[in-house]
Structure 1
Amino acid sequence: MVTSRADTAPTTPGGSVPDGSVPGGSLPDGPAPATPAVEWGPAPLDVKLANVLGGRTAKAIEKAFGHRTVGEFLEHAPRRYAERGALTALDSLAIGEPVTIVAEVVEVRERTMRARRGSILEAKIGDGKGLLTLTFFNQGWRTKDLVVGARGIFAGKVGDYRGARQLAHPDYELFDADDPRATADPESDEAIRFSRQPIPIYPATASLSSWQIAKAMGIVLDTLPEVTDPIPASVRTRLDLVPFRKALEMLHRPEKVADFKRAQDALRYREAFVLQTALVQRRIAARATASVARVAAPGGILERFDATLPFTLTDDQRAVGAEIAQDMAGTWPMHRLVQGEVGSGKTLVAIRAMLTVAESGGQSALIAPTEVLAAQHLRSIVKFLGPDLAAELRPVILTGSQSTDERRRALLAAASGGSRLVVGTHALLGDRVDFAELGLVVVDEQHRFGVEQREALRTKGATPPHVLVLTATPIPRTVAMTVFGDLDVSTIQGMPSGRAGVETFTVGLAEHPGWESRIWTRMAEELADGRQAFVVCPAIDDAHGEDDGAPEPAADGSDPEGTPTRKPATVLATAERMRTMPVLAGRRIEVLHGRMTAEEKDRVMTSFADGAVDVLVATTVIEVGVDVPNASMMAVLDADRFGVSQLHQLRGRIGRGQYAGVCLLVTHAEAETVSRERVDAVAASDDGFELARVDLELRREGDVLGERQSGGRSSLTLLRVVQHADVIIDARDEAERLLERDPDLSGSPALRDALTRRLDESDAAFLGKN
């Protein structure tokens, strides 16, 4: 038996152990080995965890991670492994080298830190050839088991402190007194074999450490019978994948590094295959749903509209328009995602689709994430339509902050069919919003909306409407396949002619603090030439931020990439400071942010668009859709607090007319940090698709997938949609071939069961609504 400890053992800020927990000890009710009384039945993975581990233990695991069944718990994969490697003599350890040592505790002492509150526990261990110090901060409770004479395995990275080698917060396992390894020669075959086994390190909580989870996992695996594999045997053979039951064993109890890597390969493919099968099923089901075909007639509204355009559509706009027209002429609802560069003309493509629906008397609803963007869309639509078509189609807007009379008129226009183009925000999702004949739903900047919100609008049609989703954030094929389910993807890469473009520069104040004054001098020069400018800040004031996509600061006051945090620039303070700058004296400076009323935001935006405002100091409410051709400069303050794609979209607000734009990305981030890499990447390229690739490389997987939008278990475990593109594409192809042969999966009961297990009702709805 082994008594285990880990860097995940529970502590409070003061270093004490929370009530009711024992560091490294048993789970809450000390799970005894499972007995033959466990009735596994025909579906072992569906057995309640309480039947195997006991009620209190199962309850603790459910509270910590939501796992209720054996199958869910077995999917709790280690987040990493401490790869032990060969034993190393302590007197020859290299600084920075990961090592594992079988050694004995020879000295323990705890001392108070001088510079700050807390204590340091230092334990010296020896293997007969040398000594090494283990260091733990604020974890004095470890003296209960790190006693002189205790033996075990210690794993960590070798550091140096004042010339002495040490392991800070190492993983370790101590041998019980009755364990033969407690007295065995450290260089014996048994000790060496054990020391080479990788140590799984699990996602843990304050009440359940990694070692405790490993113990519970071992109990489950010790009694788990054979389980069927949902991956067809022919596919496993082609890809050399180990069977499901063996993969589980190799994932949680690997004998060597190659074991858990092979297990990850098999379980990753299983995850992709089950998910892609579900998505293909939903695609087949969607095409079995009837919808109203929408076709533009010769001489009709769309043709009249095209004849009034003062420019020629780009090749990409025509190609994507043809794809949309073909979809809407079909007998099932269109589900298409249109991705395109900032300013590539996605809105025009959407308007042409809406006019196609209007020809047959249908209505279109365009939902935007902010009132500023919704109002901008309405102005753009009215401008594009011209007075005659605008009077005929009566476009209206519906937002949450409208007056009662305005709202009543908009609701009546939508419900009666008097308006065939309805633009709005989340207010469109309300129960009182009805349509006479909803034929098309357009979702702008889809990443701002949850699945349930999009579905709420789609179900307002008497028959399923067509759905068109727009995004200025390029999405790799595998992300679209995995996250957005049944959406077909169209891409607009070409840009309309007549745009002067934007030059972008990084203003690194960490190394050049004197450059700050030049920002405002450069802005004054643009204003003197009759241009306008934006200043973008991450927060409204010290108490109110806005969703800026910035990484969360760590507990030590630094961001996850190691850059010291500082208070972000705010809209209100920046605008006030700018009004006192002599270089900007007499300039009309206004603010725009999410806490303003719709009337206030519309007034400011209208004034800015009309040239009555020189500088607009704003949050990311101006990120998308805002079109002011005379705006030629943007300064993004604390640019490192924004994502790559977000910065690219922000600068897309300038250089939209005949005047070249200049974008200054102002940052205090140090050179060679990830925060600074994001900023420099945007300054180095204006290719949104290349920047999307860079963005995905720099961001964590959770950022790629976004927050889980359903309460079920459809989030990914081992699969990474960017890194494992080849796995996803192969799994998709296999799923399509299988469902073509066996649509109801009658010949694949294991896969059918896996789908049922993986996708509860809310997950199935989640996949379908995408």
Structure 2
Amino acid sequence: MGTGGARAGAPLARGVRHDPAVAGDVRFRLGRSLKDLLGERTAKALDKIGLRTEEDILRHYPRRYGDRGRLSDLRSLAVGEHVTVIAQVARTSARRMQNRPGAILTSIITDGTNELTLTFFGKNLGTVKYHEGRLRPGESGMFTGTVSDYRGTRQLTHPDYRTFRDVDDEAAAMESMDWPIPIYPASAEMPSWKVADAVQTVLRPLRLEDVPEPLPAQYRREHGLPGALEAFRSIHLPHSEGEWRRAQDRMRHEEAFVLQTALARRRAAALAEPATARPPRAGGIREAFEARLPFTLTAGQREVGDVVAEELARPVPMQRLLQGEVGSGKTVVALRAMLQVVDAGGQAALLAPTEVLAHQHHRSITGLLGPLAEGGMLGGAEEGTRVVLLTGSMGAAARRKVLAAAASGEAGIVVGTHALLGDVVQLADLGLVVVDEQHRFGVEQRDALRAKARVSPHLLVMTATPIPRTVAMTSFGDLETSTLRELPAGRAGVTTSVVPAGNERWVRRMWERIREEVDGGGRAYVVCPRIDAADDAALVADGDPDDVPADLLDAAAPAGPPLASVEEVTELLRAVPALAGVAVGQMHGRLSGEEKDAAMRAFATGETPVLVSTTVIEVGVDVPDATVMVVLDADRFGLSQLHQLRGRIGRGDRPGVCMAVTAAAPGSPAFARVGAFATTADGFRLAELDLEMRREGDVLGAAQSGRGTSLRLLRVTKDAEIIDAARAAARAVVAADPELAEHTDLAEVLARHVDEETAAYLERA
């Protein structure tokens, strides 16, 4: 069943990157180039839609299936959309053009009720007569092209088409008359039926031994699934609807099983490495910290903390994801874990994705610890330790001091950004890695920090973005999951309103509301999707990747006024009468580390009580006096991100006011999304709604390095049962056969599809 499979699937050493075989590598079946199989011209056209190998084209599944007896609904076609429709010719006519040389042929196709115009131009009538002979009234076929509008009439100009009479083999045509017609994602150069022809050319000669079978036989029997080759044939050339549906079901199981096997092997490999046990110690810094806490831990914090403490005490590396509602106290849980490791003689490193968040963590931790964070210093507690901060913008002298404290072990807790991953950073005894907002990092970055330990450190991953269960199984399958839902007592809560951008009275009242809060000692954030007017919202990353709204919707959003920018809104607010005399600050990714820190400090102290910012303040920023959050162009953000932004206010004893400003039309999907945000305070429910309302590609993200993701049919929104079944079966396979020596086909598919870059994508999804 294939050579080299077990070797290809062997566990990777920590920090070692697996480079997948290039297209056409003979180690992998189905890896031959389409150029060799179909010729250079066809292969070049297919390459433009991302198809380069025989496996690429076999996994280029039909988008939908047509029926010769059921015509497409032409009414739903949108201008600008590239379409493939099944329709019948109603009438066709050709004539010479009146105002310039040449001829025009017009053919009207219909679904029985609605019509669409096909238009062809030629030098003379003779050049368009070819189409007139084929497009006779009553002929049915498939027509493909881009929908345009001419004087209020929708049309396809010079469309490609194939009538059902065009099939060469009349016997084959009769036999397939009632078969579903696969309609593929295609292009103008390579229409659906040409893709189908290419698929058939690749598929027909394949034998069972040519196609890897990653699903174990027992799993296929339990779920009534066809084999791999049969599924390929049924999905591309089905004889009935039942055939292609069964084939699609099999491919969903395969995608889930391969993915879960990759995660199970990663989990098993991590657990197989020895770790240093870090048991709790009586009379240590953790107990001293708990004694000085000014608040009572929630039941959830205590419960999760006990689980973490127990896992840290084992000689097996903890691998745990801690997710929780905004403001649920994840940092305190993580700090208790870090202090337990310090008590046991080790060090903890906290990796944050932005300098703003790293500074915030450093301030929070040192504030909570007080004298306990000043070990070895005058006035420091006897049982204390040092907490140091390392960022890329630090000066050379400060950086040297931090590096020395980390390398000597003097610093028990090291907080930092990507700067922690540098080769010059050494830690004396790294026992725990805490990664905040894991989706901002990849596997290699996480492992670069873990590799600084002498033995495998314990790992705690935190996220404030609530993760639906199916996404957690899909993206964090190598981690055990803990969830904090309960908010600490004393939080005053937040009320949320939708503000129509075109309602000047409401907008004016919004600025007045900010003034009222500022006069009462509050602070106000005003969030914009852009830094300045020259920016495309999607290009804000040129300044800082922290500034890209993770859920920012793409150019498919309806056209409207320019998106709000930090620079413009700052000037606007400084001129608003209601805010006269109120200092307005700025925060965005193009500021230096010192400028960001100064901006946040001025905001927190009230020197600049209004802060206009990008989403750089989305996570972790904690200003208890912040009471107002205004999100401009709120319809351009996903629900989870809006919830994160709302979580920046109402963190003290003052109630918060969140105002989501939108120009979206009432009744539109964008307006509905903002409305759902305003009426739902449960972050986990919003995450589920986000998953339901957005395209799957938005949820799973883009594949790495231009490689297509292996998830083509599996839908985390709908396929929870399949993911569950695949996860349990994959873990059982890996437990019994860690090297996949008895599952060489599965190892082969894993090596081809789930390399380190794909794993990084999965963990950021």
Superposition TM-score, scaled by structure 2 size: 0.84
The answer to whether structure 1 residue 173 and structure 2 residue 162 are counterparts is yes
**Are 2:119 and 2:156, in contact at CA under 8 Å, matched by a contact in 1?**
yes
Displacement after TM superposition at 1:54 (Å): 3.9
Match of 2:527 in 1: 536
Whole-angstrom distance in 1 between the partners of 2:374 and 2:128 = 79
Corresponding position: 1:422 with 2:422: no
In 1, the alpha carbon distance for the partners of 2:198 and 2:85 equals 26
User: Do the aligned partners of residues 596 and 110 (structure 1) sit closer, same or farther apart at CA in structure 2, a change above 3 Å counting?
Assistant: farther
User: Which position in structure 2 is the counterpart of 1:484?
Assistant: 476
User: Residue 83 of structure 1 contacts residue 196 of structure 1 at CA under 8 Å; is this kept in 2?
Assistant: no
Deviations 1:700-719 (CA, angstroms, capped at 9, x unpaired): 21222223346766541211
Cα shift at 1:469: 0.9
User: Per-residue displacement from partner, 1:416-455 (whole Å, max 9, x unpaired)?
Assistant: 2221111111111222212111111111111112222222
Deviation at 1:134, TM superposition (A): 2.8
Q: Distance in 2 between matches of 1:43 and 1:595?
A: 46
Aligned equivalents of 2:420, 2:364: Cα separation in 1: 19
Q: Identify which of 141, 153, 166 aligns with 1:154.
A: 141
Q: Counterpart of 1:186?
A: none
Query: Within the alignment, does 1:277 sit opposite 2:261 as a pair?
Result: yes
Q: Are residue 721 (structure 1) and residue 716 (structure 2) matched?
A: yes
1:221 aligns with 203
Q: Is 1:702 aligned with 2:689? A: no
CA distance 1:42–1:452, shift in 2 (3 Å): closer
Post-superposition offset of 1:637: 1.1
| Aligned CA distance change for structure 1 residues 430 and 722 (closer, same or farther; 3 Å) | same
Quick one: distance in 1 between partners of 2:95 and 2:345?
83
Determine if contact 2:442/2:761 at 8 Å carries over to the other structure. Answer: no
Aligned residue number for residue 265 of structure 1: 249
Separation in 1 of the partners of 2:124 and 2:336?
A: 69
- Runs of 5+ unmatched residues, structure 1: 1-38, 114-118, 182-188
Please tell me whether the aligned partners of residues 333 and 464 of structure 1 are also in contact (alpha carbons under 8 angstroms): yes
Q: 2:234 aligns with which of 247, 250, 253?
A: 250
2:123 and 2:551 map into 1 onto residues whose CA distance is 36
Displacement after TM superposition at 1:595 (Å): 0.9
Match of 1:201 in 2: 183
Q: Pick from 333, 336, 353 the counterpart of residue 317 of structure 2.
A: 333
Q: How far off is 1:764 after superposition? A: 6.9
Instruction: Structure 2: give runs of 5+ residues left out of the alignment.
Output: 1-23, 78-83, 376-383, 541-546
SS in 2 for 1:148: helix
Q: Do the aligned residues in 1 keep the contact of 2:74 with 2:114 (CA within 8 Å)?
A: no
C-alpha contact 2:323 2:482 (8 A) present in aligned 1: yes
Return the letter of the residue paired with 1:586: G
Indicate if the aligned counterparts of 2:105 and 2:119 stay in contact, CA closer than 8 A.
Answer: yes
CA 1:131 to 1:370, structure 2 compared with 1: closer, same or farther past 3 Å?
Answer: closer
Per the alignment, residue 3 of structure 2 pairs with none
Q: Name the SS of the counterpart of 1:267 in structure 2.
A: helix
Match of 2:498 among 498, 506, 511: 506
Matched, 1:393 2:377: no
> What's the counterpart of residue 12 of structure 2?
none
Compute the displacement of 1:192 (Å).
Answer: 7.5
Q: Deviations over 1:222-271 (max 9, x none)?
A: 21112463323333233222222111011112233332222111111112
* Amino acid across the alignment from 1:154: G
- 1:440 corresponds in structure 2 to 432
Determine if contact 1:108/1:124 at 8 Å carries over to the other structure.
no
Q: 1:379 aligns with which of 348, 352, 363?
A: 363
What's the CA shift for 1:171? 7.5
- 1:8 maps to what in 2? none
Name the amino acid aligned to 2:654.
Y
Rate the CA distance shift 1:397–1:745 in 2: closer, same or farther, 3 A: closer
**Distance across 2 between alignment mates of 1:769 and 1:101:** 43
- Name the structure 2 match of 1:15: none
User: 1:121 deviation in Å?
Assistant: 7.4
Question: 1:379: how far off?
Answer: 0.6
TM-score by length of 1: 0.83
Task: Give, in angstroms, the shift of residue 570 of structure 1.
Answer: 1.1
Which deviates further from its counterpart, 643-652 or 609-618?
609-618
Q: Deviations over 1:637-685 (max 9, x none)?
A: 1111211111111111111111111111111111122221221111001
Distance 1:632 1:284 in 2: 46
> Per-residue deviation at 1:202?
3.0
1:446-457 equivalences in 2 (<5 Å): 446-457=438-449
Report the secondary structure of 1:65's partner residue. Answer: coil
Structure 1 residues 222-241: aligned runs within 5 Å: 222-226=204-208, 227=211, 229-241=213-225
1:67 to 52, 55, 70: 52
Distance 2:26 2:506 in 1: 71
The corresponding residue for 1:686 is: 681
- The answer to whether structure 1 residue 629 and structure 2 residue 624 are counterparts is yes
How many angstroms does 1:49 deviate by?
A: 4.1
**What residue is the counterpart of 2:21 in the other structure?**
none
**Cα pair 2:704 2:757 within 8 Å, conserved:** no
Q: Match of 2:550? A: 549
Query: Take 1:194 and 1:163, find their aligned partners in 2: how far apart are those partners?
Result: 40
State the match for 1:526 in structure 2. 517
Change (3 A) 1:258 1:524: same
Q: What CA distance in whole angstroms lies between the structure 2 residues aligned with 1:653 and 1:112?
A: 66
Q: Alignment partner of 1:287: what SS? A: helix
What is the CA–CA distance in structure 2 between the aligned matches of 1:537 and 1:130, rounded to whole Å? 46
Alignment root-mean-square deviation, CA: 3.7
CA distance in 1 between counterparts of 2:122 and 2:749 reads: 43
In structure 1, how many angstroms separate the alpha carbons of the residues matched to 2:579 and 2:152? 58
**Structure-to-structure mapping, 1:548-697, within 5 angstroms:** 548-549=549-550, 551=552, 553-554=554-555, 559-560=556-557, 563-697=558-692
Corresponding residue for 1:100?
Answer: 86
Name which of structure 1's ranges 360-369 and 274-283 shifts more when overlaid on structure 2.
274-283
**Offset at 1:457?**
1.6
After superposition, the Cα gap between the structure-2 partners of 1:112 and 1:627, relative to the gap in structure 1 and judged at 3 Å, is: farther
Structure 1: distance between partners of 2:618 and 2:123:
50
1:347 and 1:385 map into 2 onto residues whose CA distance is 12
2:544 aligned residue: none
State the AA in 1 paired with 2:630: A
Q: 1:714 to 1:285 in 2, by over 3 A?
A: farther
Match of 1:395, SS state, is strand
- Matched-pair contact (CA < 8 Å) for 1:110–1:140: no
Q: Pairwise mapping of residues 350-369 of structure 1 onto structure 2 (< 5 A)?
A: 350-369=334-353
Per the alignment, residue 193 of structure 2 pairs with: 211
Percent of pairs with identical residues: 47
Report deviation, 1:490.
0.5
Match of 1:81 among 55, 64, 78: 64
Cα deviation for residue 102 of structure 1 reads: 5.2
**Partner SS for 1:500:** coil
> What residue number does 2:38 align with?
53
- Deviates further, 403-412 or 45-54: 45-54
* Aligned partner letter, 1:223: P
- Between 1:326-335 and 1:486-495, the stretch displaced more is 326-335
Letter of the structure 1 residue corresponding to residue 38 of structure 2: L
Go from structure 1 to structure 2 and tell me whether the alpha carbon gap of 1:102 and 1:638 turns closer, same or farther (over 3 Å shift).
closer
Aligned length: 706
CA distance in 2, matches of 1:139, 1:363: 77
Output the CA distance in 2 between the equivalents of 1:355 and 1:671: 51
Deviations 1:278-308 (A, max 9, x none): 3222322222111111111111111111111
In the superposition, relative to structure 1, how do residues 581 and 713 fare at CA in structure 2: closer, same or farther (>3 Å)? closer
1:102/1:154 contact within 8 Å kept:
yes
